[in-house]
Amino acid sequence: MIDFLTDYFSSFQPHSQAEFTIFLVISMIFSALSILLGYKLTRLWSTLIGAGIGFIAGFIIGETIWETSGAGFIAGIVLAVILGAISFFIYKAGVFIMCASMAFTFVYSGLSALINIPALSLVLSIVIAIIAGVVSIIFLRPFIIVTTAIGGSFEFAQSLFSLFPAATQSSQLFGLSWPILLVGSILSVLGIIVQFVTTKKHGKRT
């Protein structure tokens, strides 16, 4: 499934070095915001992630049914608006979508490097993502802080070292090179500390 999506949207990836660099810089900016302001920007992240998931699902469904990219684009926009609105207006639904999707991406990346059975990696990742989504609703503030700090940190490290690929030519653990693991781990700890210090416990949101 993941390989299918990767191949399906490969045409949207940057092709020149300049486009690639711009893409990485933008990714690093958003990752830094997630590391330091993940909890404060929860509604923004959940809305963007919900809209993104909706667009991808809608595009694939629309193009599969009507066999035109135009129909896929329209269906993608519709589902993006629906899921984005749900994530924005129903706070806990947005939190579930955000944390579950981040957990899925992180876990699938690691399992794919350890288990050479794509279907098993996919199923385990989905199960863990659902568990993470449920836990995020129960332990709202701490789980969001930990999830956004770790997710943002490793995304930042991967984007950073993508600019210097020679620095990551080393042995890997969970599909990540040691420089990425080191920088990602340090930033995760710093991000968690900063977010806990700079945020206060809020009342329940719905």
Tell me the pLDDT tens digit for each residue of 123-166.
999 999 999 999 988 888 998 899 899 989 998 998 888 887 76
Mean of pLDDT over the chain:
83
Closest of 94, 100, 95, 97 to residue 127, by C-alpha: 100
- The secondary element (H helix, E strand) that includes residue 176 is strand 176-177
Question: What's the pLDDT band for 7 if we cut at 50, 70, 90?
Answer: low
Q: Do the beta carbons of residue 196 and residue 144 sit within 8 Å?
A: no
Find the mean pLDDT for residues 9-37. Answer: 79
Closest of 50, 149, 51 to residue 96, by C-alpha: 50
Upper half-sphere CA count for residue 1 (Cβ side, 13 Å):
13
- What does the block give as tokens for 175? 């599909």
Q: Do the beta carbons of residue 54 and residue 84 sit within 8 Å?
A: yes
When mean pLDDT is compared across 10-14, 25-29, 82-86, 184-188, the lowest value belongs to 10-14
Closest of 181, 61, 21, 42 to residue 109, by C-alpha: 181
Say which DSSP state 39 is in. T
The pLDDT value given to residue 153: 93
Q: Do the beta carbons of residue 146 and residue 39 sit within 8 Å?
A: no
Q: Do the beta carbons of residue 104 and residue 66 sit within 8 Å?
A: no
Higher pLDDT pick, 87 / 175: 87
Question: What's the pLDDT band for 36 if we cut at 50, 70, 90?
Answer: very high
Question: What's the pLDDT band for 10 if we cut at 50, 70, 90?
Answer: low
In this structure, which amino acid lies at residue 58? Answer: G
Closest of 93, 82, 101, 87 to residue 44, by C-alpha: 87
In this structure, which amino acid lies at residue 191? Answer: G
- Residue-wise pLDDT for 53-62, tens only, equals 899 888 888 8
The pLDDT value given to residue 201: 64
* pLDDT above 70: percentage of residues in the chain: 84
Higher pLDDT pick, 97 / 171: 97
Q: Burial-class residue 95 by CB neighbours within 10 Å (0-12, 13-18, 19+).
A: buried
Rounded to the nearest 10 degrees, the angle between the axes of helix 42-66 and helix 69-89 is 150
The pLDDT value given to residue 2: 47
Looking at the whole model, is its pTM more than 0.85? no
